[in-house]
Amino acid sequence: MSDVDRPSDAVIETISGFNAGVASTLVAHPLDVVKTRLQVSQGTGQFRLGDSFRLFQSIYRQEGGFKATYRGLGINLIGNSASWALYFLSYDQTKKLASRISGRSSLSYGDYFWASGSAGILTAICTNPLWVLKTRILSTSASATGAYQSTMDGVRQIYRTDGIKGFYRGLVPSFFGVAHGAVQFTFYEQLKTRRREQIHSEDLTSWDVITLSAVSKIAAGAATYPYQVVRARLQTYDAAKTYNGLADAIYQIARYEGLWGFYRGLMPNLFRVLPSTCVTFLVYENSKLLFK
């Protein structure tokens, strides 16, 4: 593609991020349903081998077969595609700003961390209403009492009961997730740089992208998973009746469920995020190549 016909970098980043969000959601949505159900469930916090598989079986058998495992797909597609499109766009623009400020073409660990963190904060603020809807829809069966029957039904009910603030439940713990993204992208960018130096080429293979994205995701996820559990609890239907804010949610989980309560849904999350992350970066990187 000639430079004349080539879209701007901003358009390329947005389209590539959008494609990545759609692809990863279609691949991993059933595991997202299982993870969300486990995150919002309350109990001892102890895990038993096979809990995720048994929950998946229960959803499949009791809630309508394979279709039930894709409950909430629409809002998840909207949320992920919008999030990744906005994230990659703002991440690319912030990296360019960091390069101009520092006067360096090669960015440091701190530059990548700042760029990904800034992009994460902006994305979290803009997309939190979508994640509130997603959590509530995925956490219940369609036949459950009070369950949202559609995305618009959810919007109406949230606005009717909680007003605008209802769409921003769980926003504060979402900011903790910004650190997760910052760590992940910092690792990923540095690993990409080292791999390119090894192969003496700017173009990575699909296997390179899969490996580097998986390693960076595991490193970031090891320390930051608990915020997802806290955020999910604060976004459920009856959160206002159960928890008096972020600190109370953390206190109750720690008191009644122990340390492992913060890691509910960890296993399906690992099974979900690794394929999802690999697909996200693979589609993103290859989408960008199409514009070269």
Confidence of residue 221 (pLDDT cuts 50, 70, 90): confident
Say if CB 249 and CB 230 are below 8 A apart: yes
Retrieve residue 194's tokens: 């080292």
pLDDT in tens, 155-201: 999 999 999 999 999 998 888 889 889 999 999 999 999 999 999 99
Q: How many CB atoms lie within 10 A of CB 2?
A: 5
SS3 letters across 205-237: CHHHHHHHHHHHHHHHHHHHCHHHHHHHHHCCC
Go through the domains of the chain in sequence order and give each one's CATH number.
9-290 (1.50.40.10)
Angle at 73 between CA 71 and CA 74, to 5 degrees: 120
| Across 14-23, 209-218, 231-240, least confident range | 231-240
pLDDT in tens, 114-159: 999 999 999 999 999 999 999 999 988 888 888 998 899 999 999 9
Retrieve residue 4's tokens: 């004349």
Going 55 to 60 to 63 to 68, the CA torsion angle's sign is positive
Retrieve residue 198's tokens: 């090894």
Say if CB 130 and CB 79 are below 8 A apart: yes
Say if CB 126 and CB 89 are below 8 A apart: no
Confidence of residue 223 (pLDDT cuts 50, 70, 90): confident
Percent of the chain with pLDDT over 90: 65
pLDDT in tens, 43-88: 655 555 577 888 999 999 999 899 999 999 999 999 999 999 999 9
CA 49 to CA 292: how far, in whole Å?
Answer: 47
pLDDT of residue 273: 84
SS3 letters across 72-95: CHHHHHHHHHHHHHHHHHHHHHHH
H helix or E strand, kind and range, residue 126: helix 109-138
Enter the pTM of the model.
0.85
CA–CA distance from 11 to each of 15, 218, 231 (Å)? 6, 30, 31
